[in-house]
């Protein structure tokens, strides 16, 4: 019984292979290039049932577009697997003139039209998608895994109720973005990842977030603060912070910066100001600068921001100043900096507004002023990067 069962399974397996190969061959007989030789005996046995089904779909749709035929003789995936146990495969081949087949061809044609508009060679992408199903070579480096899978998902989509043109346009834009992202990540001269060996440099610059309500704004400020070498972020009141409420949302926009920038939290902004004024604080003798639009405010570029820290020449910036650093106080998105603490601040600055609105988003204001401070301190980043590829030598 065991030998008979193995013989039957072996026979069924070869029957399925013949059915798929014949169907695939008939669907691409008008192609100039060999689109289906990838279905060899060796890699067939390594294919799962799902991959075989996808191959049948891909061979049909790819041949439909590349050959330009309206009717294609192919094999129905469901029918193939319903006949796996039979001894004959002659009934497995049928003329696929159903509405589903025509809709599938229409979806592919619409997608390829949209791809061509974006400058993507649709024929190459279609062949790469088929090759990814039956070959062990991996995904085509011209497009990348994500772009090819997005293409295959559209071709084999089960959402037949979607507007074909809209779905094709959406998928084409997604494929274009994913392919560009893949090429960008593969480029050696583009830096995308954090340097594991990098040592974070800190400057005498502290931020106070006065009752900010948006965790996404706070996360964005954390990320900018890390880029600018901020030595401490103080959150007050209802401001989301890494160890409190809103930490998950904050992390989405901070992208890990919340783990590397030192932070403290106080119940009130007044407590934060008192901490900055205390002699026990590293931020003692910091110039407290609020960012707010008031009659007292000056343009942020007109103020000199003090800061004392070692430089490459073992000198210090503003060594003669009584202040050792600068603390920026950023207020709530709607009400701004708490009016009760404004009299306690040393300076108040604003960013000039030339439109109808009175202010910018707090997450947009923070980097403007922080980078102005670094500019005044003469801090410049000069990362060493590989040279760009020389197109003339290609």
Q: Are residues 210 and 170 in the same domain?
A: no
pLDDT at 4 over 80: no
Q: Are residues 209 and 181 in the same domain?
A: no
Determine the structural domain holding residue 243 and report its residue range.
203-376
My answer on whether 320 and 172 are in the same domain is no
Domain count, the chain: 2
CATH code for the domain of 247: 3.40.1280.10
The answer to whether residues 158 and 293 belong to one domain is no
Together in a domain, 217 and 323: yes
Domain assignment present for residue 383? The answer is no
Q: Tell me: pLDDT of 366 over 80.
A: yes
Alpha helices in 121-205 (DSSP H): 122-134, 145-155, 164-186
Inside any domain, residue 365: yes
Q: Is 382 within the bounds of a domain?
A: no
Burial of residue 215 (CB within 10 Å: 0-12, 13-18, 19+) is buried
Alpha-carbon distance of 317 to 324, in angstroms, equals 9
Residues 158 and 247 in one domain: no
**Residue 251 near residue 219, CB atoms below 8 Å:** yes
Among 64-73, 189-198, 244-253, the range scoring the smallest mean pLDDT is 64-73
Residues 16 and 160 in one domain: yes
* pLDDT, tens digit (0-9, with 9 covering 90-100), for 206-226: 999 999 999 999 999 999 999
Is the per-residue pLDDT at 122 higher than 70?
Answer: yes
Q: Does 115 reside within a domain?
A: yes
Report pTM: 0.54
Q: Are residues 138 and 247 in the same domain?
A: no
């Amino acid at each position: 019984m065991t030998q008979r069962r193995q013989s039957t399974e072996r026979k069924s397996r070869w029957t399925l292979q013949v059915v798929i190969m014949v169907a695939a061959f008939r669907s691409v007989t008008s192609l100039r290039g060999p689109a289906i030789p990838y279905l060899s005996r060796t890699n067939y046995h390594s294919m799962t049932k799902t991959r075989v089904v996808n191959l049948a779909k891909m061979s049909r749709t790819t041949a439909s577009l590349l050959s330009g035929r309206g009717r294609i003789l192919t094999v129905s995936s469901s029918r193939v697997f319903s006949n796996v146990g039979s001894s004959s495969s002659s009934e497995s081949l049928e003329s696929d003139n159903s509405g589903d087949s025509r809709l599938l061809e229409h979806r592919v044609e619409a997608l390829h039209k949209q791809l061509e508009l974006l400058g993507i060679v649709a024929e190459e992408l279609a062949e790469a998608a088929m090759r990814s199903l039956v070959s062990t070579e991996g995904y085509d480096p011209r497009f990348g895994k994500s772009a090819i899978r997005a293409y295959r998902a559209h071709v084999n989509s089960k959402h037949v109720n979607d507007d074909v043109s809209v779905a094709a346009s959406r998928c084409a834009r997604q494929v274009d973005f994913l392919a560009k992202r893949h090429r960008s990540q593969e480029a050696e001269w583009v830096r995308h990842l954090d340097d594991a060996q990098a040592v974070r440099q800190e400057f005498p610059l502290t931020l106070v977030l006065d009752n900010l309500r948006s965790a996404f704004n706070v996360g964005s400020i954390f990320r900018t603060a890390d880029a600018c070498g901020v030595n401490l972020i103080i959150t007050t009141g209802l401001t989301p912070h890494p160890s409190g409420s809103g930490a998950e949302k904050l992390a989405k926009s901070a992208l890990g910066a919340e783990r590397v920038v030192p932070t403290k939290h106080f119940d009130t902004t007044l407590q934060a100001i008192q901490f900055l004024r205390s002699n026990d604080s590293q931020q003692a003798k910091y110039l407290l600068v609020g960012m707010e639009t008031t009659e007292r405010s000056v343009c942020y570029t007109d103020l000199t921001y003090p800061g004392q820290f070692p430089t490459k020449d073992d000198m210090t910036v503003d060594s003669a100043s009584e202040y050792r650093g600068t603390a920026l106080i950023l207020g709530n998105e709607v009400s701004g900096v708490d009016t009760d603490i404004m009299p306690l601040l040393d300076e108040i600055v604003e960013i000039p507004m030339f439109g109808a609105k009175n202010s910018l988003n707090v997450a947009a204001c923070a980097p403007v002023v922080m980078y102005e401070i670094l500019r005044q301190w003469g801090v410049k980043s000069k990362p060493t990067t590989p040279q760009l590829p020389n197109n003339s030598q290609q």
